[in-house]
Chain A
Amino acid sequence: MRIALFVTCLADGLFPDVGKATVTLLERLGHEVVFPAAQTCCGQMHINTGYQADALPLVRHHTEVFAPYDVVVAPSGSCVGSVRHQHAMVARRHDDELLATRADEVAAKTYELSELLVDVLGVEDVGAYFPHRVTYHPTCHSLRLLRVDDKPLRLLRKVRGLDLVDLPDADQCCGFGGTFAVKNADTSTAMLADKMRNVLDTQAEVATAGDSSCLMHIGGGLSRLRAGTRTLHLAEILASTDEAAP
């Protein structure tokens, strides 16, 4: 299958290994990955902070860039959530019904990574090998906007060597919330403290999730504590093999 990668601005600029892992994984499964070089950002930060007028050109651009492809994948529940639940809304707020329709068309063929693997490609065992103790944090948008349910866990359970431990209070938000982490830094930090406590209680070596943004938040807190747990994106674990491990 020919799959267009929407790498997301965060992975592009700050976490390129997540993009590379997504490419490696999908190619290993026998698919062709293309990277539309004109892509930038879905505009979620603008939308969620209240700047819908500034988000409008980003929505228009994203829709134009991805309209030609049949299947689009992003290693982010949050960005796919924005494409699926917000793009048409932004267009309608600015009375652009045509853009809203086209945005909905793009949304209908845009998948978060675990959705693409399990629902579209029908695969749970991706042939990965990752001999580490891992705990999984279901990010809010993948859980409650996309309803990915246990798809990421099904993928992780099939990874050879991986010791998967349940995260207590897993469905509680880590406190990131985009600009919430800055505008309400104290409340965000209080939420992060509980998330970190739960992660550390698992004694996992790696905390994983489907969103680089939440991982940046949890990982930034763990790093500050010099805790012995690192964060890795789900794609990085699924891309890992005997030969190449992150």
Chain B
Amino acid sequence: MTTFLGLPVHAPRGVGHLRGDEPFPDAARKALANTQLRRNIGHATATIRAKRAAVVAELDDWEQLRLAGEAIKTATMLRLDDHLEQLERRVTERGGTVHWARDANEANEIVTRLVQATGESEVVKVKSMATQEIGLNEALEEAGIAAFETDLAELIVQLGHDKPSHILVPAIHRNRSEIREIFLREMAGVDPELTDDPRRLAMAARAYLRRKFLSTKVGISGANFAVAETGTMVVLESEGNGRMCLTLPETLITVMGIEKLVPTWTDLEVFLQLLPRSSTGERMNPYTSAWGGAHTLDDGSPDGPRDFHLVLLDNGRTATLADEVGRQVLNCIKCSACMNVCPVYERTGGHAYGSVYPGPIGAVLSPQLTGVEDNASLPYASSLCGACFDACPVRIDIPSVLVHLRAQHVEEQKTARRLPTPEAVAMAAASWTMSTPKRFAAAEKASRAARVLGGKKGRISTLPPPLSGWSGSRDAPVPPKETFREWWARTRDVPS
């Protein structure tokens, strides 16, 4: 066991899916060239944006709900230890078992041991960000346990040997004909006459999974919320696969990030309004399940799994909590509204972010879970347009956290490197120049030399690196003969 030294502990390397193989700009370049992907994602995000806008407009107290959601989550984080201990007590009283996992490896070990203890070699899973984050399926596979994803989109991703690209609609990057091809190729016993009609595809998944649901003895889930005062776990879903996994197996294992708590049952009245409208654009999702430990009904008969295990996961969340600006990201209820409004996500899709958490929220969450140096390009993967804040149901100020993480990255670079980066040199020089008007005016005069680049065209079409990134697709303006301050001095005759 390691001794705790009080330093933030990030999610470990070598396990799970929080780090990409290449920096965002490189991954984005490839994604941008995939016209099919851009069409699919453009269509899907536009559709869901319109649905969300319509159901949000139905509520005249939407802003009050957002403010309440923000305040409840903020307060929860400031007493997270107390709430977690209360949750553990309540779940235990209700017949469940609570496990604590410092990181992905520990969580994977706990879940693997729990499954092994049942003697089963197959589990059914309901879509869960936490288990994707820690790479649970891979860990189970190494132990000889097959995990079946049961959410339709997760099934498409799993059968396609693919990665999810959106936290709510993980197969958003696939269109109907691609999905048909995957099913025909990978789904055992599928009707060879299968068409690309979404209804036919969904029915093929129903038939394929029903056998699993009726026979599998272990279910694995995440949780959207856990209520500390009552020990109630809450999962929102649409298809009924969640209810199947939460109800039919004999053993249920839920893996949940420690930040997913709300203190009271009453608090849920806010989030059960914010989440469905923000995520799927519905007034309410078709199914929400709430349960505690192992349930027995009034007549003494059992209802649902006999054994319930809750695994509480840190994996970099306490490190995020340690950052006073960045901790608001833990308030996230994983609705994905920010992705659907993000102009960057809409064009690159989710894979370019490299982490299971894509889009604006991923750009502020992944670097905090891993430490900013392991995801250093993500805080820059935004034009800071601010659409994400407006869409966020708990008012996370994503643009400000992006700017904060950029500063953290620059400061860490400064400490870590003997020589400053060329960018740091340029920024320091610009700061030196701009801190006095005299130097600034002199620099403006000097930049006039660039007029020669414009030639007779009156525009500049090529610039040296790194500014070639600009001139690759846009002309640059030619500096004028006279700056504003020179004009003012010449015409207004003010004493300098």
Contacts and interface: CB of A to CB of B under 8 A. Distances in A.
Q: A and B, one complex?
A: yes
B383 A173 contact: yes
A143 B409 CA distance: 28
Contacts of B492: 35
B427 A46 contact: yes
A211 B383 CA distance: 15
Interface string A40-67: 1101011111111111011001000000
B324 to A, nearest CB: 11
Interface stretch (B59-67, B133-141, B235-243, B461-469): B461-469
A161 interface: no
A191 interface: yes
B101 to A, nearest CB: 33
B384 A191 contact: no
B343 A175 contact: yes
Nearest to A139: B385
Interface string A9-28: 10111111101100000000
Contacts of B466: 182
Contacts of A37: 437, 485, 488-489, 494, 496
Contacts of B437: 37-40
Interface of A is mostly: helix
A185 B469 contact: yes
Contact of A183 (B380, B475, B487): B380
B250 to A, nearest CB: 48
A187 interface: yes
B146 interface: no
B25 A11 contact: no
Question: Which of B423, B437, B467, B473 gathers most chain A CB within 10 Å?
Answer: B473
Interface in A141-171: 141, 143-145, 171
A191 B343 contact: yes
A51 B436 contact: no
B10 to A, nearest CB: 19
Nearest to B438: A38
Contacts, number: 194
B420 to A, nearest CB: 11
B470 A220 contact: yes
A180 to B, nearest CB: 5
B469 A187 contact: no
Given A184-B25, A187-B347, A58 B470 contact: no
B29 A186 contact: yes
B442 to A, nearest CB: 12
A178 interface: yes
Contact of B479 (A11, A13, A183, A187): A13
B475 A190 contact: no
Contacts of A54: 427-428, 430-431
B435 interface: yes
A45 B424 CA distance: 12
Given A184-B28, A187-B344, A221-B473, A51 B410 contact: yes
A35 B434 contact: no
A167 to B, nearest CB: 15
Nearest to A41: B434
A58 B469 contact: no
A221 B475 CA distance: 6
Given A19-B484, A58-B434, A173 B473 contact: no
A180 B384 contact: yes
A131 B313 CA distance: 64
Interface in A167-201: 171-173, 175-192
A132 interface: no
B424 to A, nearest CB: 7
| Minimum-distance CB pairs A-B, first 8 | A177-B383, A220-B474, A50-B406, A185-B469, A173-B385, A144-B386, A50-B410, A54-B431
Interface of A: 7, 9, 11-17, 19-20, 35, 37-41, 43, 45-55, 57-58, 61, 85-86, 89, 93, 140-141, 143-145, 171-173, 175-192, 216-217, 219-221, 223-224
28 contacts: A13-B444, A13-B479, A16-B487, A17-B480, A20-B484, A20-B487, A35-B492, A40-B435, A47-B403, A48-B403, A49-B423, A50-B407, A50-B408, A52-B410, A53-B411, A140-B383, A141-B386, A144-B385, A173-B383, A182-B466, A182-B469, A186-B25, A186-B28, A187-B28, A187-B347, A190-B347, A217-B474, A223-B459
Interface of B: 24-25, 28-29, 32, 343-344, 347-348, 379-387, 389-390, 400, 403, 406-411, 423-424, 427-428, 430-431, 434-437, 440, 444, 447, 459, 461, 466-467, 469-470, 472-477, 479-480, 482-485, 487-489, 492, 494, 496
